[in-house]
């Protein structure tokens, strides 16, 4: 079967994979979005189905005050003796306004069913990010991760640490060993480490160069898990940085290895597809490459040396269309769809499922708030050409908004909002004005507006039409022909322009200047790839 890359389109960064029997399981980062850390299952590495999330209930992890691109970083998924283990980091960055006593840092969670429920976190006393686990053949468990070097030789030099984990108490025990600072001197952020026992040696897989253009995969081996490690003379063993900034996929790295049931080896990793110049509005996506072994070293994409557009998976058998997560779905996105997420809260904590959509409370929290959870539920943008549509209605007052949003962060997003305007005369009902607002670098800019006939609470059909480098924002009175309200460049919203680590999210939102008992109705939500 031929698999088209990316394996998971849209913002599914830092993929980690493991095999249990004939099944494969994969998780990715989710940053400030909840539910967090999606769990996907496959029988063949080709077709994936989302089965749940690791962080999916109130109180499990508190993301209050986590601003955009903080939160849940780079998890690692492993399985041992009937138990799934997830190790990850909840990152609170400088400037985040966290409540007193709320915990962040590196944690471990476990489950016997990868679909959940997962345990509450057990916190580890260690600094840094990107932790991983190795269950060794002798029964010992080794935790490892990366952090800024204690005594750096250059700016942003990091070090990979290794320390034993007691699986019974879920605490780190014994001495710590610093085993790696990168394959290239001067390379920043040697991160995303994973250790494997391959034959009688230990293999260290790590990224370096920063998770942008200079991202790369490097490997090293050692006779003992605690080192010393020696690098592959061929390092970096996979990167696209030498291909320039006009190549189709950039930033390849942060890989994880898995051995298939037939003995072949594969790697999942992240990369970014360009659109409209050096921009990647879909964010960091998950890709698949084959791996072979030569002289004890892994060879990524042998004979090609780069992430291919298509990968042949010999043991995969076509069983039907790709799942919604993989970007094959076209049509209604119902409230029980596992793609729905919210910012710093679960979707059901900020909205109420209703028929084929949501009821949204009008609350005095906006998409620009870096602490509280706005009334917003969204799904990842998974295509360079796609349409999101919905019908909204609410008895709005002055200062109220309901509509669709395209979100990158608190400082950078787009709102297509229905607002109230005074009626045509004394005692008449207010009317509707649809306004398109681009919040750029923390400042709101109106990019278009349209006045629609009828009362303010009449159904309004809104649309976000993604056409490569631009977003077209449309509105219509009920079933009438849509009018274009405004246009925004996607390149002004992606992480190249706005910073951070995320792709774009699309979905309904609502806000008000004061708390109101009013609920906004959002129905007939559809997402579909466009030609």
Q: What is the average per-residue pLDDT within 2-16?
A: 96
User: What pLDDT is attached to residue 318?
Assistant: 74
**H runs (alpha helix) in 217-373:** 347-350
Percent over 70 (pLDDT), the chain: 98
The one-character DSSP state at 8 is B
Per residue in 466-500, pLDDT (tens digit) is 999 999 999 999 889 999 999 999 999 999 999 99
Q: What is the average per-residue pLDDT within 348-354?
A: 98
- Rounded Cα distance, 129 and 31, in Å: 13
Bridge partners of 401?
511
Where does 2-312 sit in CATH, by number? 2.115.10.20
Per residue in 249-265, pLDDT (tens digit) is 999 999 999 999 999 99
Bridge partners of 445?
438
> Cβ contacts of residue 95 below 8 Å, gap of 6+?
67
Q: What is the average per-residue pLDDT within 493-521?
A: 95
Is 329 a residue whose pLDDT tops 80? no
User: What pLDDT is attached to residue 324?
Assistant: 66
- Record the tokens describing residue 401, joined without a space: 């908004």
User: What pLDDT is attached to residue 169?
Assistant: 97
User: What pLDDT is attached to residue 423?
Assistant: 77
| Ramachandran category for residue 21: left, alpha or beta (phi over 0 → left; psi -120 to 50 → alpha) | left
- Record the tokens describing residue 531, joined without a space: 């030609």
User: What pLDDT is attached to residue 21?
Assistant: 96
Q: Residue 86: how many CA atoms within 13 Å on its side-chain side?
A: 33
Per residue in 271-304, pLDDT (tens digit) is 999 999 999 999 999 999 999 999 999 999 999 9
Is 327 a residue whose pLDDT tops 70? no
Per residue in 62-76, pLDDT (tens digit) is 999 999 999 999 999
**H runs (alpha helix) in 362-506:** 495-498
Q: Using alpha carbons, select from 354, 370, 449 the residue that is nearest to residue 403.
A: 449
User: What number of other Cβ atoms are within 10 A of residue 375's Cβ?
Assistant: 26
Q: Using alpha carbons, select from 281, 505, 499 the residue that is nearest to residue 411.
A: 499
Cα separation values, 240 from 125, 247, 302, Å: 36, 8, 15
Per residue in 359-396, pLDDT (tens digit) is 999 999 999 999 999 999 999 999 999 999 999 999 99
Per residue in 178-235, pLDDT (tens digit) is 999 999 999 999 999 999 999 999 999 999 999 999 999 999 999 999 999 999 999 9
Per residue in 111-133, pLDDT (tens digit) is 999 999 999 999 999 999 999 99
Percent over 90 (pLDDT), the chain: 92
φ, ψ at 241 (rounded to 5°): -65, -25
19: helix, strand or coil: strand
Cα separation values, 418 from 89, 267, 404, 486, Å: 38, 46, 9, 13
User: What pLDDT is attached to residue 158?
Assistant: 97
The one-character DSSP state at 31 is B
- Record the tokens describing residue 211, joined without a space: 């998770």
Does domain 331-529 match CATH 3.90.660.10? Answer: no
Largest CA distance in the chain: 85
φ, ψ at 272 (rounded to 5°): -130, 130
- Rounded Cα distance, 406 and 250, in Å: 23
User: What pLDDT is attached to residue 229?
Assistant: 98
At 424, the pLDDT band (50, 70, 90 cuts) reads confident
At 430, the pLDDT band (50, 70, 90 cuts) reads confident
Q: Do domains 2-312 and 331-529 have the same CATH topology?
A: no
- Rounded Cα distance, 415 and 132, in Å: 38
- Record the tokens describing residue 358, joined without a space: 């949501």
The torsion angle over the Cα atoms of residues 197, 201, 206 and 208, rounded to 10 degrees, is 180
**What is the 3-state secondary structure of 75-132?**
EEEEEECCEEEEEEEEECCCCCCCCCCCCCEEEEEEECCCCCCCCCCEEECCCCEEEE
User: What pLDDT is attached to residue 88?
Assistant: 98
Please report, for the chain, the start and end positions of each structural domain, with discontinuous segments joined by +.
2-312, 331-529
Q: Please, what is the Cα angle at 407 between 401 and 410, to 5 degrees?
A: 80
Q: Using alpha carbons, select from 290, 222, 305 the residue that is nearest to residue 46.
A: 290
At 96, the pLDDT band (50, 70, 90 cuts) reads confident
- Rounded Cα distance, 161 and 168, in Å: 21
- Global confidence as pTM: 0.96
496: helix, strand or coil: helix
CB 29 within 8 A of CB 75: yes
Q: Please, what is the Cα angle at 163 between 157 and 165, to 5 degrees?
A: 140
User: What pLDDT is attached to residue 94?
Assistant: 84
Cα separation values, 421 from 48, 363, 431, 445, Å: 47, 19, 5, 19
Known catalytic residue at 14: yes
User: What pLDDT is attached to residue 518?
Assistant: 87
User: What number of other Cβ atoms are within 10 A of residue 188's Cβ?
Assistant: 16
Beta strand residue intervals within 240-394, DSSP E? 249-259, 265-273, 285-294, 297-300, 310-312, 331-332, 341-343, 352-354, 357-361, 375-380, 385-393
- Rounded Cα distance, 17 and 28, in Å: 9
Per residue in 19-52, pLDDT (tens digit) is 999 999 999 999 999 999 999 999 999 999 999 9
Of the residues 44, 96, 159, 191, only one is catalytic, namely 191
Bridge partners of 24?
19, 42
């Amino acid at each position: 079967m031929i698999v088209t890359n990316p394996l998971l389109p849209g913002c599914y960064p830092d993929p980690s994979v493991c095999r249990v029997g004939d099944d494969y399981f994969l998780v990715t980062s989710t940053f400030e979005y909840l539910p967090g850390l999606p769990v996907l299952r496959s029988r063949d590495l080709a077709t994936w189905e989302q089965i749940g999330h690791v962080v999916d209930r109130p109180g499990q992890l508190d993301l209050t005050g986590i601003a955009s691109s903080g939160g849940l970083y780079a998890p690692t998924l492993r399985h041992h003796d009937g138990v799934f283990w997830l190790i990850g980091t909840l990152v609170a960055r400088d400037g985040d306004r966290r409540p007193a006593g709320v915990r962040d840092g590196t944690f471990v969670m476990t489950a016997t069913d990868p679909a959940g429920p997962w345990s509450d976190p057990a916190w580890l006393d260690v600094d840094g990010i990107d932790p991983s686990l190795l269950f060794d053949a002798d029964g010992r468990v080794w935790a490892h991760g990366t952090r800024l070097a204690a005594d750096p030789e250059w700016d942003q030099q990091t070090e990979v640490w290794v320390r034993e984990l007691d699986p019974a108490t879920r605490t780190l025990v014994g001495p710590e060993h610093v085993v790696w600072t990168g394959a290239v001197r001067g390379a920043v952020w040697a991160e995303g480490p994973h250790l494997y026992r391959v034959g009688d040696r230990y293999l260290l897989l790590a990224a370096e160069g920063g998770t942008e253009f200079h991202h790369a995969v490097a490997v090293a081996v050692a006779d003992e898990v605690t080192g010393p490690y020696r690098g592959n003379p061929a390092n970096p063993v996979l990167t696209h940085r030498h291909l320039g900034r006009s190549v189709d996929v950039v930033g390849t790295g942060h890989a994880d290895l898995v051995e298939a049931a037939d003995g072949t080896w594969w790697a999942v990793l992240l990369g970014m597809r360009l659109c409209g110049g050096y921009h990647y509005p879909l964010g960091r996506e998950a890709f698949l490459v084959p791996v072979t072994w030569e002289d004890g070293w892994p060879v990524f994409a042998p004979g090609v040396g780069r992430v291919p557009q298509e990968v042949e998976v010999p043991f995969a058998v076509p069983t039907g269309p790709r799942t919604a997560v993989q970007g094959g779905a076209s049509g209604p996105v119902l409230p029980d769809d596992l793609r729905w997420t919210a910012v710093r809260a679960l979707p059901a904590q900020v909205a109420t499922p209703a028929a084929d959509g949501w009821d949204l409370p009008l609350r005095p929290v906006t998409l620009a708030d870096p602490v509280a959870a706005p009334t917003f539920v969204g799904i990842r943008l998974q295509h360079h050409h796609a349409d999101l549509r919905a019908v909204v209605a609410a008895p709005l007052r002055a200062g109220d908004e309901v509509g669709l949003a395209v979100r990158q962060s608190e400082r950078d997003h787009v709102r297509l909002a229905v607002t109230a305007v005074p009626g045509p005369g004394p005692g008449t009902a207010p009317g509707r004005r649809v306004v398109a607002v681009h919040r750029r670098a923390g400042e709101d800019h109106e990019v278009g507006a349209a006045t629609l006939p009828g009362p303010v609470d009449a159904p309004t059909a809104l649309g976000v039409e993604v056409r490569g480098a631009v977003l077209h924002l449309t509105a219509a009175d009920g079933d009438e022909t849509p009018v274009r309200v405004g246009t925004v460049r996607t390149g002004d919203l992606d992480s190249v322009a706005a910073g951070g680590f995320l792709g774009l999210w699309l979905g309904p939102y609502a806000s008000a200047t004061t708390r109101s008992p009013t609920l906004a109705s959002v129905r007939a939500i559809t997402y579909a790839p466009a030609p």
